Amino acid sequence: MKRKDGISDKNSCPQEDWDSRGAEGEQCGVNDRTNQPQEWVEGQDSFERSQGEVHTRMASEVGNSNRMCFRILSHAQRARRGAFTLPHSIVDTPVFMPVGTQGTMKGLLPEQLVHMDCRILLCNTYHLGHRPGYELVRKAGGLHKMMNWPRSILTDSGGFQMVSLNKLMSVDEKGVQFESPHTGQLTYLTPEICIQIQEHLGADIIMQLDHVIHVLTSGPIVEEAMQRSIRWMDRCNVAHTRKDQLLFPIIQGGLNFDLRTECAHEMAKRARVGIAIGGLSGGEEKSHFWKIVALCCENLPESMPRYVMGVGWPTDLVICSLLGADMFDCVYPTRTARFGSALVRNGGLMHLTRNEYAEDFSPIDEYCSCYTCKNYTRAYLHAVINQESLGCHLLSLHNVQHQLDLMCRVRDAIENDNVEMFLKRFLAEQYPNGDVPLWVKEAIVYMDYTI
């Protein structure tokens, strides 16, 4: 089965969720294979050839296209079904982006991500700057060539490391000083250097350097960090020179509604294509989390994609999509795999290290079309789960496919205007005992759905 943009659906999500598709290619001016970016056409054709030919194609130079646009194809109340045309792929939204921190996905090959129909992934500028080093990536021809990845890439700026590496940093108006956890050397990251590095890396979407503080921080520093992020965005805009890259600003403001609203308005003035919502998923109450996402979405332009950073829990993905967000990223699928757990429709998580699976010869998830579920049983995975190179690989394949499939279901529900039916089914799967969290119920009432 192929959609009107020429990409096969056979590996994207379960057949039951693909009853009808929108003509997003037509909306974006790409309505047949001859008008698609060449590497995308090759990406489809190569999986009809041998695996050796796939590797050859993936290693070839990636083409570029300057036709970049975001089109909203359909609405379901606040939720949007869109198509984001980037130089290396057309990204269906809402979308989940797997994370390849240092230019590689833990436990997965680029060919496997293409086979799953992953259109975009995230890499981290801070870690890439230290290892392998942005100069080496530049000499290799950019991230796409170095990774053998033919589709889109978003690079994070490194701002998150202000929180995750808090003991190793100091911040002033000029920028951020880090002590490298790899070399011990002090490194200064300014908005200008951040943009220069990301231009060398060559991602399709790049992020501003923002002043990130822990989401539970209170006091004057919250407004100070928000205002500094706005000023740094101005500097990033001046430093940004590549026309084939899209620069996103990042909304900060902690859990303060007034600061978030002000920052959303100011960043919207400075944004050219899309905007990110940052500073969340750091331990705040879920009742605060969803309200900040809703507030930001309500105060952002309808025409721009909205990227909620660091979101990967299935329930979070669904609720944020229905609130009007379009893009998400998280290490959750691969990190969960490394702990021996699989994401499943019924019950959320399956801990395959438990002895109850030692003689269970069924697949992880009967609904899943991934390589692991087609070829291996729970019993086999239980047996090899401690052999990290194999067990982690097979579970990572499944977990990433699970997240991509979930977003397919969300897009279908929006496109076919049956969000309420999908929502009821999803919550019944995730919470079979009926223990739907209170914050989820509150968000659903806010969105005028009935479950």
pLDDT tens for each residue of the chain, 451 residues long? 333 333 434 333 433 332 222 333 333 433 333 333 333 333 334 333 333 333 333 333 233 345 799 999 999 999 999 999 999 999 999 999 999 876 677 779 999 999 999 999 999 887 787 778 888 999 999 999 999 999 999 999 877 766 676 566 789 999 988 777 667 778 788 999 999 999 999 999 999 999 999 999 999 999 999 999 999 999 999 999 999 999 999 999 999 999 999 999 999 999 999 999 999 999 999 999 999 999 999 999 999 999 999 999 999 999 999 999 999 999 999 999 999 999 999 988 999 999 999 999 999 999 899 999 999 999 999 999 987 689 999 999 999 999 999 999 999 999 999 999 999 999 999 999 999 999 999 999 999 999 8
Task: Report the alpha-carbon distance of residue 407 to residue 53 in Å, rounded.
Answer: 30
Region of residue 324 (left: phi > 0; alpha: psi -120 to 50; beta: else): left
Q: Is 75 annotated as a binding residue?
A: no
Task: Give the per-residue pLDDT at 127.
Answer: 77
Note the pLDDT of residue 37.
36
Q: Report the pLDDT value the prediction gives residue 165, as an integer from 0 to 100.
A: 65
For residue 399, give the nearest of 309, 443, 339 by alpha carbon: 339
Residue 1: per-residue pLDDT: 38
pLDDT value of residue 253: 99
Question: How far apart are alpha carbons 372 and 321 in whole angstroms?
Answer: 28
* Structure token pair of residue 272: 């050219």
pLDDT of residue 268: 98
Within 8 A by CB and 6+ apart from 135, the residues are: 200
211 is in an annotated binding site: no
Task: Quote the pLDDT of residue 299.
Answer: 99
Query: Of 17, 316, 329, 412, which one is the catalytic site residue?
Result: 329
Whole-angstrom distance, CA of residue 290 vs CA of residue 440: 9
Fold of 27-330: TIM Barrel (3.20.20)
158 marked among binding-site residues: yes
CA distance 380 to 73: 43
Q: What pLDDT was estimated at residue 135?
A: 87
* 408 among annotated binding-site residues: no
Which of 162, 40, 161 shows the shortest CA–CA distance to 102? 161
Q: Is 156 a catalytic residue?
A: yes
Sequence-distant (≥ 6) Cβ neighbours of residue 297 within 8 angstroms? 78, 277, 306, 323, 324, 325
CA distance 169 to 178: 5
Alpha helices, DSSP H only, in 48-190?
A: 51-59, 110-115, 125-130, 134-139, 143-147, 161-164
Spell out a b/e string for 402-437, using b for 16 or more CB atoms within 10 Å of the CB, else e.
Answer: bbbbbbbbbbbbbbbeebbebbeebbeebeeeeeee
- The answer on whether 157 is annotated among ligand-binding residues is yes
What's the pLDDT at 158? 78
Residue 156 in marked binding region = yes
Q: What whole-number distance in Å separates Cα of residue 423 and Cα of residue 162?
A: 36
Residue 252 among known ligand-binding residues: yes
Judge contact between 399 and 284, C-beta under 8 A.
no
Which tokens is 281 given? 């998923």
Sheet holding 169-171, edge to edge: 169-171, 176-179, 186-189
Residue located via tokens 């994401």: 343
370 appears as a binding residue in the annotation: yes
Query: 84: annotated binding-site residue?
Result: no
Model pLDDT, residue 247: 98
What is the DSSP track for 254-265? TT-HHHHHHHHH
Catalytic residue, candidates 5, 156, 204, 316: 156
Map out the domains of the chain as residue ranges.
Answer: 27-330, 339-417
- pTM equals 0.85
State the Cα–Cα distance between residues 77 and 99, nearest whole angstrom.
Answer: 30
Nearest one of 352, 360, 349 to 390, comparing CA atoms: 352
Which residue in 3, 87, 104, 108 sits closest to 399, CA to CA? 108
3-state secondary structure at position 57 = helix
